[in-house]
């Protein structure tokens, strides 16, 4: 959640996250990591060639905190 929204936990209020988190699929690319724009709670994910690559890249991006403007 922190990687995507810069919030350390899920919201406790009924309103939830503002703005609502969203995902944008990028063009196919197995070389780049997913990124996030935490100001607008948007996750940018390249269209990977397999679920295994998606999992590896997403976990690596979360570990390295690769977020910011894209």
Q: Is residue 57 part of a domain?
A: yes
pLDDT of residue 49: 98
Tell which residue, 60, 2, 51, has the closest CA to residue 33.
60
Is the entire prediction scored with pTM above 0.85?
A: no
Q: What is the pLDDT of residues 13-39, one digit of tens each?
A: 667 767 778 899 999 999 999 988 877
Task: Write down the residue that tokens 């780049």 correspond to.
Answer: 32
Q: Which residue, 13, 10, 44, is CA-closest to 29?
A: 44
Q: Provide the token pair at 3.
A: 């990687």
What pLDDT is recorded for position 11? Answer: 67
Is residue 40 a part of any domain in this protein?
A: yes
Handedness of CA 18, 41, 22, 53 (dihedral sign): negative
Q: Domain with 28 in it: what CATH number? A: 3.30.2410.10
Number of domains in the chain: 1
Tell me whether residue 23 is in a domain.
Answer: yes
Whether 38 maps to a domain, the answer reads yes
pLDDT at 1: 67
Q: Is residue 45 part of a domain?
A: yes
Domain encompassing residue 2: 1-9+17-63
What amino acid positions are annotated as catalytic residues? 39
Residue 37, domain member (yes or no): yes
Tens digits of per-residue pLDDT, 37-53?
877 888 899 999 999 99
């Amino acid at each position: 959640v922190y990687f995507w929204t810069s919030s350390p936990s899920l919201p406790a209020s009924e309103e939830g996250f503002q703005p609502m988190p969203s995902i944008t699929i990028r063009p196919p690319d197995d070389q780049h990591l997913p990124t996030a724009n935490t100001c607008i709670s948007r996750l940018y994910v390249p269209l990977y060639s397999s679920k295994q690559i998606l999992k590896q890249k997403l976990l690596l991006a979360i570990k390295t905190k690769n977020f910011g403007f894209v």
